[in-house]
A and B are shown apart, each in its own frame.
Chain A
Amino acid sequence: MVNCPRYERLAALLYDGELHGPLRREVRAHVAGCVACTRWLAALDRLHEVLLQEVDSQIERIDFSHFWEQIEGKLSAPPLPWFVRFRLQWARWQARQPLGIPLGAAAAALLLAALLSLSYLDFPVDSFLSSFRPNPSRLATYSQAQIESLSAATTVALWNEPISNAPVIWIEDDRDGAVP
């Protein structure tokens, strides 16, 4: 449709507001003087308009007469998240404490007493406590690269390159994109 190979894809990005900085200025300047790109943008504009009209006409066909009734039905018994329920239970429990002892201090005293009792009974306290210390190899993984999110239009394979442990994202290609 567009006979402007360098700019036809950039013009579409410009229309979507995806270009920034010098590239945006360059493409805008080009479009201002290019008939093909101007037609392309006009076509995109028309497509956008037709889509909006179609969406509007579809929305008009939806029956909203029972909309709020259904919403109210769902709101009548909102499930509370577990941490909110936990805090409510905690607050109730604290309110029932007759002596009002600070719970943290009581827990610390109990833990100290338990540890002293264990050491008095020759229990291997050090090895017991060391089992709670973070595993160095587990921490080491944080110094490596981590892929937090990934979306792709085609199949991808992921692995870590073994020399530097850098992540590799291999995007399959119809022609010759098999994982090497």
Chain B
Amino acid sequence: MRTHRLALLCLMGTLTWVLQAAAGDMVEVRIDTVLATNASQDFDNRLGDMRRQLSAFRFSSYRLVQEERRQVGWGKQADFFLPGGRFLQVVPKEYVNEQIALQVMLLEGSTPTSLMSTQVRMPNPGSLFIGGRSHQEGTLIIRIGVAAEE
């Protein structure tokens, strides 16, 4: 019985490894930081691919304030500086069942403290929105996009 369980564990481990190998060694992590306000009706043309998604937030104006793309290895931590002295840590954990497991932590403050930490599974490619923090006269909306090679 114990041998069977061990064999099953080995099989699952091998499958996980094969799936991860099939998914490539790197994940593209893209961070788009948008400043949303109700001060005008302006819409930044660089946000064309997000127009319909951003309409769900019900602000009248959206401006891309920062964008960054990086190739990140599985299990490696990528640090992103955000406007307003914020700091985003992203770790692509694994690729299982055609889903990317991602760990995200948002830090804020003069002595950075964790404001929010989450682990999420998303399709490949997939995205996650984090919003609500004030910046200048508006609110920040951060889109975290990930895409793994298949």
Same complex origin of A and B:
yes
| A interface residues with partner B (beta carbon < 8 Å) | 8-10, 12-13, 19-21, 23, 142-154, 156-157, 161-164, 166-173, 175-177, 179-180
Is B40 on the interface with A (CB-CB < 8 A)?
A: no
CB pair B115–A171 under 8 Å, yes or no, is: yes
Chain B residues, CB < 8 A from A161: 53, 56, 129
Chain B residues, CB < 8 A from A171: 106, 115-116, 130-133
Is B85 on the interface with A (CB-CB < 8 A)?
A: yes
Extra contacts besides A153-B115, A168-B56, A171-B132 (5): CB < 8 Å: A9-B112, A10-B112, A145-B126, A146-B121, A169-B128
CB pair B133–A169 under 8 Å, yes or no, is: no
* Total B residues in contact with A, Cβ cutoff 8 Å: 44
> Which residue of the partner chain A has the closest CB to B78?
A21
CB pair A144–B53 under 8 Å, yes or no, is: no
Is B14 on the interface with A (CB-CB < 8 A)?
A: no
**C-alpha spacing A20/B89, complex, angstroms:** 11
CB pair B119–A148 under 8 Å, yes or no, is: yes
CB pair A170–B87 under 8 Å, yes or no, is: no
CB pair B128–A167 under 8 Å, yes or no, is: yes
Is B117 on the interface with A (CB-CB < 8 A)?
A: yes
Which residues 41-70 of B sit at the A interface, judged by CB distance below 8 A?
Answer: 52-53, 55-59
- B62-90 Cβ-contact flags toward A at 8 Å (1 or 0): 00000000000000110100000101000
CB pair B112–A163 under 8 Å, yes or no, is: no
CB pair B139–A177 under 8 Å, yes or no, is: yes
Could you list 13 A-B pairs, sorted by A, with CB under 8 Å?
A9-B107, A23-B79, A146-B120, A147-B120, A148-B101, A148-B119, A149-B119, A153-B115, A156-B116, A161-B53, A163-B55, A166-B53, A169-B130
Chain A residues, CB < 8 A from B79: 19, 23
**C-alpha spacing A171/B57, complex, angstroms:** 13
